[in-house]
Amino acid sequence: MPRKHSTESHIESIRRRLLEKIHVNEATGCWEWAGFIPPYPRNYGRLAVNKKSRETHRLMYEVTFGQVPDGFCVCHKCDVRKCVNPDHLFLGTKADNAADAKAKGRMASGEKHGSKTHPESRPNGENNHAKLTWEQVREIRALLLSGISFSKVAKRFGIGKTAVANIKHGRKWKEHLDR
């Protein structure tokens, strides 16, 4: 009969795996994750636990302080996303996290917002490996205005009826003056 790991030894195993991949920044006191970090926008460290990818700062919080309550975020006092130092982590709601970011001047708005500084990363349109081009989207809208059914338009362009509805109602492929 296989031996089951106790919860305590499982937690210690996760803690050990976390500590194996950190670099201590002496200047800031941050314990910087040196393992896998996906690209922006979700560029927090990640570690697989029980075949599930988890954010390393949340894991470190959990192995140090216990489970994160539902509806709470693990926030950084240091504002370093790859930091897993438990002394730099605190619990807060999404509203707390947003207020903290705003108070520290980390929340971009207006002309500094990412949609303005990086328009190529907008989730709609040809820049997002889309099946359609803007020309095809305009043709879809014209066909719908002429009375052709969602089903026929979807079949003609090789897309689903939901995609056609999203185009028609402006939920996807929004026209921008800068296009």
Per residue in 104-147, pLDDT tens? 877 776 676 666 666 555 555 555 556 788 889 999 999 999 99
Do 103 and 127 fall into the same domain?
no
The CB-side HSE value for 92 (13 A sphere, CA atoms) comes to 14
* Residue 178 pLDDT: 39
* Residue 74 pLDDT: 95
Residue 65 amino acid letter = F
* Residue 113 pLDDT: 64
Residue 112 placed within a domain: no
* Residue 122 pLDDT: 53
- CA pair distance 106, 37, nearest whole angstrom: 20
Do 82 and 160 fall into the same domain?
no
Do 94 and 16 fall into the same domain?
yes
Do 91 and 133 fall into the same domain?
no
Do 103 and 21 fall into the same domain?
yes
* Residue 103 pLDDT: 87
Do 78 and 139 fall into the same domain?
no
* Residue 2 pLDDT: 47
* Residue 134 pLDDT: 86
Q: Tell me the sheet residues that pair with 138.
A: none
Residue 51 placed within a domain: yes
- CATH number of the structural domain spanning residue 58: 3.90.75
* Residue 41 pLDDT: 66
* Residue 121 pLDDT: 53
- pLDDT profile of the chain (179 residues), mean per 10: 63 93 95 88 86 94 94 92 95 91 78 62 53 88 92 90 89 62
Q: Tell me the sheet residues that pair with 48.
A: 53
- CA pair distance 18, 15, nearest whole angstrom: 5
The CB-side HSE value for 13 (13 A sphere, CA atoms) comes to 9
Do 30 and 57 fall into the same domain?
yes
Residue 126's domain comprises 122-168
Residue 178 placed within a domain: no
Do 139 and 164 fall into the same domain?
yes
Domains of the chain: total: 2
